[in-house]
Chain A
C-alpha cells in the first residue's frame, strides 16, 4: 500500500483495518447501482422501499404514490439481502479469501452448517429507537445513504450534498455523545 510508505503510524491510526475492503466494497455498491441505472434509467435508493412496501397494507396517500415502483423495490431489497448472504457464504466464512479482504473483529460469528454468520453486539434498544428515527428522517429528508449519498452525490445534486453533510454531521455528534455517555456497545 503506497500510503503505508509515508507516515505509517498515522495511516494505522486512521485506517486500522486498512482501506482495501472498504474501497472494493464501495466500488461494488456503486456498480450495483449502475447496473440498475444502465438497464432501467432509475437512480436507485434503499429507503423508499420502507414506504412503498407499506402500500401493500395501507391505503394512506403517502404510501399509495409508490404503488407503481413497489414491486421492483421489493426485488431490489431481496437482491441486497441475497448479495450479502453470498458474501457471508464466501468471504465471511473464510471459504474464499483475498489480499483485498480484511476480516473484522466486531460482533460475533456463529456457525450454521459449516458457514459463518454474524451477529451484532449493538443493543436492540439502540437499533429499534435508531431505526424509528431513520425511518422518519430518511423519508422526510428525501433520501438515505444510498439515495442521497451514492446516487445523489454521484449526480452532483446540491440537495443531496447538503442532505449528506447534514446527516453526517448530526450522526457524528450523536455517536460521540452516546459514546461519551458510556453506552457501549
Chain B
C-alpha cells in the first residue's frame, strides 16, 4: 500500500507538471493548438514499455504480491470500439480523463468535482445496466 501511494504520488505529480491535469491544455491539443500532450502520453508509454518488456525477463514474481509479471492485455471485442467512442466524445467535450481529473483536484481545481461527479454517475449507470442484463441472461439460461 505505501508503494502504491508513492507510485500514485509520482503519477499525479507528473500529471500536474505536464499540465495534463488542466482541461484547457487537453482541449488545446485536441484542437491542434499545442501538440505537446503527445509527449506526455508518448513519454509515459515509452517508460512503461521498457519496464514491461524487461522486468518479466529479469524476475519471475513481484516481491509484494507474489504475482507473476505480465503485460496489460485485454481481449478485443466491439465494446472496445463502442466504449472508446463514448469516452472520446466525453474527453473531447470536457478535456478531462479519469487520472487527470484526480490530479486536477490536487492542483486546487475544485470545479473538476463536476467532472468527477459525472464520471461516477456514468460508471454507475453502465454498471447498473450491465449488472441487470447479466442477471436477466443468467435467469433466462436457467429457464432454458
Contacts and interface: CB of A to CB of B under 8 A. Distances in A.
Interface of A: 14-19, 21-47, 49-51, 53-54, 58, 60-63, 71-72, 75-88, 91-92, 101, 104, 106-107, 110, 112, 116-122, 124-160, 162-164, 166-179, 185
Nearest to A63: B127
Contacts of A156: 49, 71
A54 B91 CA distance: 22
Nearest to A101: B17
A183 B11 CA distance: 31
A32 B8 contact: yes
- Helix, strand, loop or mixed for chain A's interface? helix
A42 B92 contact: no
Interface residues of B, number: 117
B7 A44 contact: yes
B88 A167 contact: yes
Nearest to B60: A41
Nearest to A86: B13
A28 B123 contact: no
Given A83-B11, A110-B108, A152-B72, A136 B122 contact: yes
Given A141-B79, A143-B74, A26 B41 contact: yes
